[in-house]
Amino acid sequence: MTVEPAPAYTPAKQKLERSLVTPEGVDLRIRLADAGERAGAFCLDIAIIVAVLISVTVVSALTGISTGSAEFVGVIWLLAFFILRVFYFTIFEMGARAATPGKRMLGIRVAARNGGRLTGEAIFARNATREIEVFLPLGFLASQGMDNLDGLIILAGFLWSGIFAFFPLFNRDRLRPGDVIAGTWVVKAPKRKLQKDIADDGEKALSNFQFTQSEIDAYGVHELHVLEGVLRSRDTDTMKQVAAQIRKKIGRPPSDHEADDQFLDAYYTALRKKLETKLLYGVRRKDKFDKG
Amino acid sequence: MTETPEDILLSSRRFRVEREADWRRLEDLLERVASRSARALTDEEMLELPRAYRATLSSLSVARATSLDQSMIDYLESLSTRAYYFIYGSRSTMSERITAFFKYGWPAAVRAIWRETLISAAITVAAAIVAFVLVMSDPDWFYSFMPEMFSDGRDPAASTEELRRTLYHEGDESGLSVFATFLFTHNARVALFAFALGFAFCLPTIFLLAYNGFILGAFVALFASRGLGYELGGWLLIHGATELFAIIIAGAAGLKIGWALANPGELTRLGAAAEATRKVSLAVIGVVVMLFIAGLLEGFGRQLITSDALRYLIAATTGGFWIAYFYMTGRREAP
């Protein structure tokens, strides 16, 4: 019997999990960025571009006033806009982090779909189509909107960008048209800190507790992970409730000299020890309903 | 009292205590590389990185099989993934990429679509000839080819003298503003569309190239009918040698994609189009560069240089330069 990985993620999250087997033969199980993160990163990037444009405008306006040329301001503004629009995404994604500042803030990055090298061409290709997806219809709307408001043209423009904007929602890999072409996708690359092992305290606490075999047999891996989350949050109310529930389940009478956090730490450690021992024998008890 | 590994009850905890130093080391190396560049590390550290990566990866497989400390497994997954992307990803710096682009990538990409470039040029020239012949036979055709906003008073109703003046005098606009508006106008858009719309089985690309040719032909016909053909040539080609070439290459790139989509061969249709796009994308980056140069020539060169001979000289030099650059250099593959 093979050891199955922990069902640590809810099905909704599992939908975005992909296997990436390294040449060393380990599956990294990468997770794709969801639509919200993609949209959020894009909005952040646009906000940064707009902020830069505004400061360019202010600076060039100040110098423009001193030289007395309004045209100069306009020209500088147009050039800045052109450069940002063409190079912002590409330059940042070509860096070591393969992410724009917006993506970096949300802990996501661009990667090649085949797991290989992310080439400069791919990055250019995925951002060149952004031109057709976003900037051209918007620019078109802006130029049309001013002189003659042709309702049909505006509608067509909105439909056009709408189709592209929602495109990632209609394929399972959350690909933008640019990703499809370039052979890239956007994955989560969060920086996680190595947190303290709950069992550090638990082992100490365990010396003050005695659990019988049947008391420890009450739960599986899923409950262990939930308990780990509770213990990490250290929220007194939740811990009190959870402790009460566990005591009820394992039939252990509540007692006054038994602190809830001590009890939970100890029970966590005892449960983990038991389940990990089973793991070594190739048995993974999924949850409390799993009698295997 | 300090804990020794033997005192530890849980084997997964003992495992962590023993291996943690490796993980911390990898994290530290990655952190430094990401914040600056690969040069932030010494040679020894550079060699240490793959070792620390493999140690961490092995920890991950062990942890998955034997540990139930979810936060540790999450940490190892995220750390291994980050290291994987660094080790197997691209490590070239921006300046290396830019040098490689100008030395090999760009000319090679343009050379690779020479067939499409010929077709694209042929479409433009054919359309120009058609428009030329039609406008020469009946000047009213001019209005069917030329949207009013582009002609800007240069139409058959204008006197020869007025037409001549437009060739040597740009009005009160400064070179910079001509350049800036250029970036947002007609040509840049035609070029990008010709590339991007190649997707629809080449048809929009062909249409756009023809449309561009029509405008060109109609323009030439108008000026030629007033005996200003030679003068117009200088006015047009000083930047046109670069700009028309750029549009033709963009069109060629579009044709390549459309063709791949229509005739995918052994690949899937989408896969073939994606493959073709990746191949031509360097050529299209080059198109942006060419349009930029064309904009400078149009904005400044044409303002400052009003001698026809000099304009032709610049046109011939730039045109010759592009041909020599694309088809004679960078034959050696990138190292």
Q: Which among A97, A125, A136 has CB closest to B277? A: A125
| Interchain contact B225–A (C-beta under 8 A) | no
The predicted-structure confidence for B102-138, as pLDDT tens digits, reads as follows 888 889 999 999 999 999 999 999 999 999 998 888 8
This prediction has a pTM of 0.75
Could you tell me which of A215, A194, A229 has the C-alpha nearest to residue A273?
Answer: A215
**A contacts of B85 (beta carbons < 8 Å):** 98, 109, 111, 118, 189
What is the value of ipTM here, to two decimals?
Answer: 0.81
Range of the domain at B77: 5-91
- B215 and B109 in a common domain: yes
List, run by run, the mean pLDDT of 10-residue segments along chain A (292 residues): 46 77 89 91 93 86 68 74 82 86 92 85 81 68 54 69 80 86 88 86 82 84 89 87 87 78 88 88 82 68
- The two beta strands, A30-31 and A108-112, are unpaired
The β-bridge partners of A184 are A112
Among residues B56, B91, B126, which one ends one of the domains?
B91
Mutate to test the interface with A, among B68, B78, B282, B292 (most CBs of A within 10 A): B68
C-alpha distance from residue A56 to each of A49, A51, A52, A87, B182 (Å): 10, 9, 6, 16, 20
DSSP state of B331: -
**A contacts of B88 (beta carbons < 8 Å):** 22-23, 115-117
C-alpha distance from residue A260 to each of A206, A231, A236, B52, B113 (Å): 13, 11, 9, 40, 73
**B contacts of A190 (beta carbons < 8 Å):** 78
The predicted-structure confidence for A213-272, as pLDDT tens digits, reads as follows 888 888 888 889 999 988 888 888 888 888 888 888 888 887 777 788 888 888 899 899
B236 within some domain = yes
- B312 and B240 in a common domain: yes
Return the pLDDT at B52: 93
Residue with tokens 């707009």: A50
Q: How many structural domains compose chain B?
A: 2
Could you tell me which of B70, B67, B18, B10 has the C-alpha nearest to residue A279?
Answer: B67
Q: How far does the CA of residue A259 sit from the closest CA of chain B (Å)?
A: 22
Return the pLDDT at A143: 57
Name, in order, each residue with C-beta under 8 angstroms of B13's C-beta and a sequence gap of 6 or more. Answer: A197, A199, A200, A203, B69
Name, in order, each residue with C-beta under 8 angstroms of B133's C-beta and a sequence gap of 6 or more. Answer: B217, B221
Q: How far does the CA of residue B87 sit from the closest CA of chain A (Å)?
A: 10
Among residues B91, B114, B140, which one ends one of the domains?
B91
- B174 and B29 in a common domain: no
- B217 and B128 in a common domain: yes
Domain boundaries, chain A: 23-188, 198-280
Residue B319 pLDDT grade (very low, low, confident, very high; cuts 50, 70, 90): very high
Q: How far does the CA of residue A241 sit from the closest CA of chain B (Å)?
A: 22
Return the pLDDT at B184: 56
Whether the CB-CB separation of A100 and A130 falls below 8 Å is answered with no
B34 within some domain = yes
The three state secondary structure string of B250-270 is: HHHHHHHHHHHHHCCCCCCHH
Residue A21 sits at φ, ψ, to 5 deg, of: -90, 120
Residue B13 sits at φ, ψ, to 5 deg, of: -75, -40
The two structure tokens encoding residue B273? 């189009």
The kind and range of the H/E element at A31 are strand A30-31
CB spacing of A181 vs B273 below 8 angstroms: yes
Pick the more confident residue, B255 or B177.
B255
Could you tell me which of B277, B135, B117 has the C-alpha nearest to residue B209?
Answer: B117
Return the pLDDT at A1: 39
Return the pLDDT at A38: 92
Among residues B30, B62, B91, which one ends one of the domains?
B91
Return the pLDDT at B1: 43
Size of interface A-B (CB pairs under 8 A): 186
B333 within some domain = no
CA atoms of B195 and B297, how far apart (whole Å): 23
